[in-house]
Amino acid sequence: MIKKQHVGRWLVIGAGGFIGSSLCRKLTKEGEIVTAFGRKPKFPEGLEDCRWIVDDFLNEKALSNAMEEAEFVVHALSTVKPAKSNESPIIDVKENLIGTLKLIELCKAKGVKKLIFLSSGGTVYGPGVPVPTPEDCAHEPICSYGVVKLAIEKYLAIQQYQGLLDSVVLRVSNPYGPYQLAHGQGVIAAVIERLLANKPAEIWGDGSVIRDYIFIDDVIDAIIAATQLVDHHAPRIFNIGSGVGRSLNMVIDSIAEIHGKADIQRLPGRIVDVPVSILDIQRANRVLHWHPRTDWMNGLATAYEWQKQVRLSKS
């Protein structure tokens, strides 16, 4: 919960996306003042109290105007998806790395209290790392998405070291839950969508790829906890996940328990998929006093029922 010492002023970049819109709902419900920047959300319920600015992340003037009086800036936007990033690394660098460097300069100029950057809990590490994976292990990303996220982290560390901008990096694993739609990222939403449409679940490879899945409410709690970090000597990078690994086959089995059955269509494996990704979340528990609270099956059931209701409303 947000500590109500005063009403906070927030700018959420990528507010039309899954994490961004969920954060905006939580903040406005708690009485915070929120400017939402990005595309309009597909599901506007609960977002009526946000100040919406529909514009492009690369439009510096619009971003500067959106940042007026913001204490906390949450950067939850990427213009590329991990699986496609190696096809356009130059675009990834131009839009996401250089775009974020410009955002950092704006934050300094506007006197932002804290920038929260949502990094990647899987792609920055790459294969061959300890499992569960701690924040301070070696980084060998195998896709441009992870390289760019890691580069942004390093630039933020420079600003932190020089005392120019306070920031917190959250390496989020694989979030799922209500308001997530299947569009190239989010296997749980994709599987549920296909099963509700009486189609087989599509998975890449043999289903042995293991991921760390975290319910969206737990991610939002972590973002809010990060804004309350005041110890200047504390770490600034945190893994945010469940700390539990589940294979794609296990995920489908769990969803099948809720849905009743699940046929599977297997597609060729992808070279950009790290075989195993499970996060060590002890640092976030120790420093941010955060831990995931949502039971796996309860979270899945909530996500499933939300998609079911959306489908019924369209029929």
Q: Which domain holds residue 220?
A: 78-314
Residue 273 confidence (pLDDT): 81
Amino acid identity of 270?
R
**20: phi then psi, degrees, rounded to nearest 5:** -60, -45
Does residue 309 belong to any structural domain of this protein? yes
Does residue 142 belong to any structural domain of this protein? yes
pLDDT band at 314 (very low <50, low <70, confident <90, very high): confident
Model-level pTM? 0.95
Tokens matching residue 113: 């209290």
Strand partners of residue 115: 73, 167
Does residue 273 belong to any structural domain of this protein? yes
- Contacts by 92-96, CB closer than 8 A, 24 or more apart: 92/144, 92/145, 92/148, 93/144, 93/148, 95/57, 95/58, 96/148, 96/152
pLDDT tens sequence across 69-106? 999 999 999 999 888 899 999 999 999 999 999 999 99
For the cut 60, the answer to whether the pLDDT of residue 12 exceeds it is: yes
Does residue 155 belong to any structural domain of this protein? yes
What's the number of domains the chain is made of?
1
Task: Give residue for tokens 């560390």.
Answer: 157
Residue 274 confidence (pLDDT): 81
Give the pLDDT mean for 153-167: 98
Residue 1 confidence (pLDDT): 43
Residue 184 confidence (pLDDT): 56
Does residue 269 belong to any structural domain of this protein? yes
Check: CB of residue 48 under 8 Å from CB of residue 112.
Answer: no
CATH number at residue 202: 3.40.50.720
Does residue 35 belong to any structural domain of this protein? no
pLDDT tens sequence across 228-257? 999 999 999 999 999 999 999 999 999 999
For the cut 80, the answer to whether the pLDDT of residue 110 exceeds it is: yes
Does residue 2 belong to any structural domain of this protein? no
For the cut 50, the answer to whether the pLDDT of residue 2 exceeds it is: no
pLDDT tens sequence across 207-227? 999 999 999 999 999 999 999
Does residue 137 belong to any structural domain of this protein? yes
